[in-house]
Amino acid sequence: MEAVLTRHIEANAPLDLEAYRSVGGYRSLDAAFARKPEEIIEIVEAANLRGRGGAGFSCGLKWRLRDADAPRPRYLVCNIDESEPGTFKDRYLLYGGPHQIIEAVIVSAYALQAEKAVIFVRGEYGKGGHGLHRAIKEAEMAGLVGSNICGSGFDLQMEVHISGGRYICGEETAMLNAIEGLRPNPRHKMPRPSVKGLWQHPTTTNNVETLVNVPHILLNGADWFRALGINSGCGPKLFCVSGMVHQPGLFELPCGTPARELIFEHAGGLAEGRTLLGFIPGGASTAFLLPEHLDVPMDFDPVAKAGSRLGTASIIVLDDTTCPVQVTLNLMRFFARESCGFCTPCRDGIPYLAQILATIASGEGRAEDLVLLEELSGIIALQSFCAFAPGAMIPLISSLQCFHDHYESHIDTGCCPFDAVNKSGA
Amino acid sequence: MGTMRIDGHDIPFQENDNILKAALAANIEIPYFCYHAALGSLGACRLCAVEVASVDPTQSPRVVMSCLEFARDGLNVSVSAAAARQVRQRVIEFLMINHPHDCPVCDEGGECHLQEMTVACGPPYRRYRGRKRTFTNQYLGPLVHHEMNRCITCYRCTRFYQDYALGDDLGSMRLRNEVYFGRFQDGPLTSPFAGNLVEICPTGVFTDAVFRQHFARVWDLETAPSICPHCSVGCNTLPGARDGTLRRMRNRFHPELNRWFICDRGRYGHQYSEHIDRPLTPRVRDEKVSYREALAAAAEQIKAARDKTSGLGSTREDLESNAMLQTLLNKLSGRFATFSDPQIETATVAAVAALQSSGGAPSLAEIEQADAALVVGDLTAHAPMMDLALRQAYRAGAKLAILHSGPSLLARFAATTLTVPPQEISAHLLRLHEQATAAPTAPTAPAPSNKHEKELADIAVYLTAAQRPVLIGVSETMAVPEIAAMVQLATALGSRAKLAYALPGANTYGTILLTPTTSTTAMLEAIESGQIQTLIVIGNDPLGDARLGTRWRAARRHLSTLIVLDCVATATAEAADILLPVAAWAERGGTFVNYEGRAQGFAPVFQRTEPLPNTVEVLADLAHCLELALPDAAAVLSNLFPGYQAPLPGTLGSALSAPPLTMQTGTTIGPASSAHPGHWQVALASWYGDDPLASYAPALMELAPAAAALIHPTAAFKEGIEDKKQVRLRGPAGTVVLPVQLNNDVAAGTIALSRVTLTQLGVGHGDLLELEHIS
Ligand SMILES: Cc1cc2nc3c(=O)[nH]c(=O)nc-3n(C[C@H](O)[C@H](O)[C@H](O)COP(=O)(O)O)c2cc1C
Ligand code: SF4
Ligand code: SF4
Ligand code: FES
């Protein structure tokens, strides 16, 4: 497949406005303004563009569900908080092609008839955020952002908000609080942000990768987009592969490309003599898959059918020298650290789990600890306030299922078997 | 509005009720931490889990948070379901991971919500084997003690402090299991309502620092329903005493008044009754004597000057004591008054007359519902809980207008602030009335400085547009014309407008009903002309009066005998020939009539180890010594107020039926006859901890603002006065040297001074004063 989203990405020297226009940038504005907003929503829905931020919700449907007569002002928030371990796709888009993002936000805001757009950038991506800010100023000077864009009568203000820097700020409603200058605790989802979001005004949030597809769909049509995918997938997809592979990296491939191809062809496979233990398909908050799942197409429904989630399409590979208990402990420590501290099960429960895992990983676990992990993780997943904790429990619960023997051997032998193997191998 | 079922009981609910609220209203216990009736639902603690049956019988029931789920008709809820119980048990287990196991020595023990919930729903054994997370505590000032390790992160403290009480120096910081509730730096909490943290925190993070100093286990405390003696609002309280001493104060729920909260004056002012200098032994001249001897000496003096005896009651003494003193003096054909400053007396009579004629003052609950309000004066300092009620109105979108001369904490929340010298308040009110009626009565009222026309017009617009406007004045800093102007404005706004005044004492309304015509000047003149030889003072301090202290001290020399009954060591008590220490309010029962005219009873809470008689008893004993037959207080009161029934402590209180008062005329705020020349106007800079009793409470007084002459920067610049430089102020009573403090909340040409400084100088609010530079 020819690169679509990354075609004009220059990692260290992003195209300026002029250069971007010379390769066809901002052409989709004309295509958009020539249409009625609801027509654009129909096309996006027909393209079956699904959210790239993790949940995979249909973008067109989300836009349609935001009341067309919603009171003004309306907001569009573009999510570049990208903090999911293993995920670095939005970073490419941000650092390598700010104008593509601006173009996408303009046409999407037009479709939603939103007059204000906020682009929320992960704190650690500050430099990229500043670059984006400069690009917006450039676009403003050229009349592409601001009032009466290109004579269309459509007005749009665009702001960059650089995050204070926490994983939870990427959660839709926590992000709204963060933008408002409040503590980034998630909000109760009633009423929905599409009714009462930023400063209580109707707000739509999308991941940046979701949005950058929109100009291409507008220019080339819904059928073109659907045809780009393979194995039931639609459109191009950015995949990240990391972990125990030769060439970790970012790959733009048809949505639906099997995991085997990603790991063994594009990422160069495993080191000499190693075998695959398993992999996480979609970032830290998705369930482990096993070697038997290598041929599952990396698309939303097939991965879900295999028992995991496509998430951010970020594969983390474990080989036979990686202790899955250690990996899970590492993830739990991450989630314990990133909990916003709002609700009890997540705030106090996840550190508790991490503590139990640490005892098991160091060989001091007891048989009843496995029962405890199961019991507690179930409650935490079901009874927390936002989707963070359920997401955090997914890898733990699946790790306990996929790698049960490893947990038992840690407890039975009183040490980490991988330590012994890795030491003797070294 | 509908009915749902909880564990087999039919429970009614109102529209928009959540399950938890409806259940609690029906006395069904669902455990919870973060929900609070005043703060609403949050959904953070996850303790309120219940099981809800699905409408579709093939679907399994769901566990939901009862505080976040609307009650619906026909909903079938189970609190006792195993799944819900398991969630609650795990929540408690999680919360107890880091909680110190110090219950046996914890000062919250016995009234700790966490302890109760742990016993009720928690697992009996600890499974967590790791280390506990710990925090460093902060110094938060003399009133509230901080112990962060006990925190269960329910966010109640910040929701109360920031969201409800609009304070800004306590908040939540950091994240994960390290969320910290405190200040940016150590230092005293600045909110006048900070003490409520002690009650709002379900565990022992914030505890009463004063109570801690003289601690008792809460189950050992003697308590009884009481009323706060520190201002005219009459918040309902629950004092706690042990071993003959008063230890602490808590809020007691009154649905129309204070509801869940009290102010810090009310919570910490009680220390006056344990003050080290509190008079406990009767004294005749310089000699300590027994109660009997003191009574005999007093009786002897009164007999010797039988028709030359008068009595001064007090707005901080209960209805019974004042009525008994009045009755005694009737028998002795003597005079009776209740104020030491006639100017304040006249204004207060006018205020009560206005309250009576305006169809009744709004309750605090009604003030909260206001959609626009005008406040005249510094409400926070005179009726702190009225301020808190207005903050609720502000939160709901009400527009506030503040017309004031000196510092006012409420000004921050005002849509319009008019900071004008005391003598210009009345003109502004008249002009506002004109604007509000839009029919200027010719000739126009003395024009206030034109620069305020725009602001006055704004205020007029939102007051007239409001559905529930409220006007509140601080009567201590007003005179009759200001009070009358507010009545006029209220009348112009029509019957939907409510009028209230913060009055200068817990029982001011009650004493005014006893003495409906002003009588202080006549009494003072009678003393000065030698017509009175013996004066009985109960709970009042004329010799310490700000404006008239000098005159009273001079008058005192004409008295042959000054008899004082009090429980604090005032200037008057110290100057007494015969001093009879009496029980403080928590040591006796009585009745206070609040600013609405609501008579509320308070019960005796405890007895001192060596009990003191109360004022009513002393007066009865005195009458006995004088061989006078004095009816008991209840008989006296039912004689005065037709159909009088003493309001029972713990009830909502009741109105007294009394004939309407007439508003007398008077001059606007300004120099009295004892006028002192000068070109600065004096404004009272009071603060929330400031009343005659609470000023004997040491911990609270640690927070009193340092003495200073507060001047607006522009005025100071014009006069060449610099910040922090010393200036000399001369008043009829004395000279005071103070540092200048520039303050934007002070009107032009005005010096704002504390009550203590006013007393030292012998001037009152609105008087004139000269200021000298010290080079
Ligand atoms: C804990 C948590 C973290 C999240 N972080 C991100 C993020 O960094 N970037 C993102 O695009 N979406 C993130 N999401 C998903 C967003 O809440 C939201 O669903 C998404 O931005 C919607 O965009 P989409 O529909 O285009 O995928 C996160 C969700 C959760 C629960
Ligand atoms: S689940 Fe975790 S991240 Fe979400 S609200 Fe609760 S504490 Fe915050
Ligand atoms: S300090 Fe108290 S009120 Fe505040 S969050 Fe902690 S437990 Fe709750
Ligand atoms: S009371 Fe419902 S979650 Fe805390």
- Tell me the C-alpha to C-alpha distance, in Å, between residue A174 and each of A335, A336, A344, B155: 16, 17, 17, 16
Question: Is residue A167 domain-shared with residue A296, that is, in the same domain?
Answer: no
Residue B201: phi and psi, rounded to 5, are: -75, 120
pLDDT score at B725 = 92
C-alpha A81/C-alpha A167 separation (Å) is 7
Q: Is residue A9 part of a domain?
A: no
Q: Would you say residue A179 lies in a domain?
A: yes
Query: Is A2 within the bounds of a domain?
Result: no
H or E element that contains B761: helix B755-761
Q: Helix or strand or coil: residue B471? A: strand
Within this chain, do residues A206 and A285 fall inside the same structural domain, yes or no? no
- Note the CATH number of domain B673-773: 2.40.40.20
- In the predicted structure, residue B756 carries a pLDDT above the cut 80: yes
| Residue of A332, A373, A379, A386 to mutate, interface with B, max B Cβ within 10 Å | A379
Q: How many residues does chain A have?
A: 426
What does the pLDDT look like over B185-198, one tens digit per residue?
A: 999 999 999 999 99
Check residue B459 and give left, alpha or beta (phi > 0: left; psi -120 to 50: alpha). alpha
Residue B674 scores a pLDDT above 50: no
The CA B591 to ligand 2 mean position distance, Å, reads 51
Confidence bin at B719 (pLDDT 50/70/90): confident
Architecture of the structural domain at B2-96: Roll (3.10)
In a domain, A271, yes or no: yes
Task: Give the tens place of pLDDT for each residue, A359-393.
Answer: 999 999 999 999 999 999 999 999 999 999 999 99
Classify residue B130 by its DSSP letter.
S
A288 and A346 together in one domain: no
| A6 located within any domain | no
Residue B110: how many CB atoms within 10 A of its CB?
Answer: 14
Average per-residue pLDDT for chain B: 93
Q: Helices B82-96 and B113-121, interaxial angle, to 10°?
A: 130
Measured between beta carbons, the chain B residues lying within 8 angstroms of A348 are 94-95, 97-98, 177
| Same-domain check for residues A242 and A285 | yes
pLDDT at position A426 over 80: no
- Which residues of A fall within a CB distance of 8 Å from B155? 342
Q: Give me the interface pTM, i.e. the ipTM.
A: 0.94
Which amino acid, residue B514? L
Q: Which atom of ligand 2 is nearest to the CA of A386?
A: 4
Distance CA B611, CA B280 (A): 9
Phi and psi angles of residue A147, each rounded to the nearest 5 degrees, phi first: -95, 150
Res. B439 pLDDT band, cuts 50 70 90 = low
CA distance A315 to A294: 11
On whether any CB of chain A is under 8 Å from the CB of B153, the answer is yes
Flag if A343 and B49 touch (Cβ within 8 Å). no
CA distance A61 to A48: 9
The nearest alpha carbon in chain B to A351 belongs to B177
Look at B659 and B84; give whichever has higher pLDDT: B84
Determine if ligand 2 sits within 6 Å of the CB of residue A380: no
Average pLDDT, chain A: 96
Count chain A–chain B contacts defined by CB atoms under 8 A: 81
The answer to whether the Cβ–Cβ distance between B98 and A348 falls below 8 Å is yes
Please, what CATH class does the domain formed by B283-344+509-655 belong to? alpha beta
Burial A3-37 (b: 16+ CB within 10 A, else e): ebbbebbeeeebbebeebbeeebbebbebbbebeb
User: Which residues constitute the domain of residue A421?
Assistant: 324-425
Contact A383 B68 (CB under 8 A): no
Rounded to whole angstroms, what are the CA distances from A50 to A39, A122, A315, B154?
A: 18, 22, 19, 37
Q: What pLDDT is attached to residue B359?
A: 82
Condensed to tens digits (0 to 9), the pLDDT of residues A153-200 reads 999 999 999 999 899 999 999 999 999 999 999 999 888 999 999 999
Residue that terminates a domain, selected from A279, A294, A319: A319
B90 touches chain A (CB under 8 A): yes
The answer to whether residue A89 is domain-embedded is yes
Q: What pLDDT shows up at residue B450?
A: 64
B346-505 has which CATH code?
A: 3.40.228.10
pLDDT tens digits for range B591-642: 999 999 999 999 999 999 999 999 999 999 999 999 998 999 999 999 889 8
**For B119-144, how does the pLDDT look when each residue is reduced to its tens digit (9 = 90+)?**
999 888 899 999 999 999 999 999 99
Give phi and psi for B146, each to the nearest 5.
-120, 130
Is pLDDT of B448 > 60?
A: no
Q: Which ligand places an atom closest to the C-alpha of B21?
A: 4
Identify which ligand lies nearest to the alpha carbon of B87: 4
Of chain B, the percentage scoring pLDDT greater than 90 comes to: 86
Residue percentage of chain A with pLDDT more than 70: 99
Q: What is the pLDDT of residue B55?
A: 80
In the predicted structure, residue B15 carries a pLDDT above the cut 70: yes
Residue B673 pLDDT > 50: no
Residue from the list B47, B97, B155 with its beta carbon closest to the beta carbon of A348? B97
Task: Tell me which of A300, A319, A338 is where a domain ends.
Answer: A319
Q: Are residues A367 and A275 in the same domain?
A: no
List of chain A residues whose C-beta atoms are within 8 Å of the C-beta of residue B153: 341, 344, 347
Residue A380 vs residues A394, B46, B332: alpha-carbon distances, Å: 11, 10, 78
Residues A103 and A149 in one domain: yes
The C-alpha of A341 sits at a distance from chain B's nearest C-alpha, in angstroms, of: 4
Residue B513: CB atoms within 10 Å: 24
Q: Could you tell me the pTM of the whole model?
A: 0.94
Q: A189 vs B745, which has greater pLDDT?
A: B745
For residues A212 and A244, membership in a common domain is answered with no
Three-class secondary structure of residue A21 per DSSP = helix
Torsional sign, CA B619, B573, B563, B519: negative
Whether A425 has a pLDDT exceeding 60, the answer reads no
B283 alpha carbon – ligand 1 mean position (Å): 78
Structural domains in chain A (count): 3
At A370, which CATH number?
Answer: 1.20.1440.230
Q: Which chain B residue is nearest to residue A339, measuring alpha carbons?
A: B176
pLDDT at B444 over 60: no
- What's the gap in Å between the CA of A347 and the closest CA on chain B? 5
Residues A312 and A343 reside in one and the same domain: no
- State if residue A342 touches ligand 2 by the CB under 6 angstroms criterion: yes
Same domain, A47 and A170: yes
What residues in A contact B133, CB-CB < 8 Å? 351
- pLDDT confidence of residue A146: 97
Whether A36 and A163 map to the same domain: the answer is yes
B679: pLDDT strictly greater than 90: no
B1 pLDDT tier (thresholds 50, 70, 90): confident
Q: pLDDT tens digits for A118-128?
A: 999 999 999 99
Residue A249 is encoded by which pair of tokens? 């990296």
The C-alpha atoms of residue B207 and residue B148 are separated, in whole angstroms, by 11
3-state SS, residue A236: strand
pLDDT digits (tens, 9 = 90+) for B23-73: 999 999 999 999 999 999 999 999 999 999 988 888 899 999 999 999 999
Choose which residue among B50, B67, B77 to substitute to test ligand 4 binding: the one with the highest number of ligand atoms within 8 A of its C-beta: B67
Residues B511-528 have a mean pLDDT of 91
Question: How far is residue B418's CA from residue B420's CA, in Å, rounded to a whole number?
Answer: 6
Distance CA A182, CA A184 (A): 6
What is the rounded CA–CA span in Å between residue B665 and residue A421?
A: 100
Q: Which among A344, A372, A384 is the nearest to B95, CB-wise?
A: A344
Q: What are the backbone dihedrals phi and psi of residue B498, each rounded to the nearest 5 degrees, phi first?
A: -115, 145
Amino acid in position B701: M
* A10 located within any domain: no
Average pLDDT over residues A232-259: 97
Instruction: Extract the tokens encoding B392.
Output: 């609720």
Let me know if B568 is exposed, middle or buried by CB neighbors in 10 A (0-12, 13-18, 19+).
Answer: buried
Q: What percent of chain B has pLDDT over 70?
A: 97
Residue A87 has pLDDT above 80, yes or no: yes
Specify whether A37 is located in the same domain as A172. yes
Query: Both A146 and A47 in a single domain?
Result: yes
Residues in A lying within 8 Å of B, measured between beta carbons: 166, 168, 183, 188, 336-345, 347-349, 351-352, 355, 359, 372, 375-376, 379, 382-385
Alpha-carbon distance A385 to nearest alpha carbon in chain B (angstroms) = 7
Q: Determine the Cα–Cα distance for residues A202 and A239; give it in Å rounded to an integer.
A: 32
Domain residue spans in chain B? 2-96, 130-274, 283-344+509-655, 346-505, 673-773
Please tell me the residue having the least CA distance from ligand 3 atom 2.
B201
B156: pLDDT strictly greater than 60: yes
Q: Token pair for residue B145? A: 């003690």
Identify the domain boundary among A170, A191, A226. A226
CA distance B59 to B74: 16
